[in-house]
Amino acid sequence: MIKNTKINGCYIISYKKKIDNRGHFLRLFDFKKIKIKQISLSFNKSKYTFRGFHFQKGKYKENKYIYCSQGELIDFVIDIRKNSKTYLNIMKINLKENDSKLIFIPKGCLHGFYTLKNKTSLIYFIDQKYKKSHSSGFNYKSKKFNIKIFPKIISKRDKLLPDF
What is the extent of the structural domain holding 131? 2-17+37-159
- As a whole number, mean pLDDT of residues 26-44 equals 85
pLDDT at 31 over 80: no
- Please indicate, yes or no, if residue 73 is contained in any of the structural domains: yes
Cβ–Cβ < 8 Å for 101, 91: no
- Please indicate, yes or no, if residue 45 is contained in any of the structural domains: yes
Specify the pLDDT at position 17.
82
Split at pLDDT 50, 70, 90, the class of 15 is confident
**Total number of domains constituting the chain:** 1
- Please indicate, yes or no, if residue 41 is contained in any of the structural domains: yes
- Please indicate, yes or no, if residue 32 is contained in any of the structural domains: no
- Please indicate, yes or no, if residue 29 is contained in any of the structural domains: no
- Please indicate, yes or no, if residue 65 is contained in any of the structural domains: yes
What is the overall mean pLDDT for the chain? 94
Question: Residue 127 maps to which CATH number?
Answer: 2.60.120.10
Specify the pLDDT at position 28.
77
The percentage of the chain sitting over the pLDDT mark of 70, rounded to a whole number, equals 99
- Please indicate, yes or no, if residue 127 is contained in any of the structural domains: yes
pLDDT at 30 over 80: no
Split at pLDDT 50, 70, 90, the class of 34 is confident
Neighbour-count burial of 18, counting CB atoms closer than 10 A to its CB (0-12 exposed, 13-18 middle, 19+ buried): exposed
- Please indicate, yes or no, if residue 154 is contained in any of the structural domains: yes
More confident residue, 25 or 54: 54
Reference 134, options 19, 55, 67, 18; nearest CA is 55
Give pTM, 2 decimals: 0.92
CA dist., res. 100 & res. 15, Å (int): 5
φ, ψ (nearest 5 deg) of residue 42: -110, 110
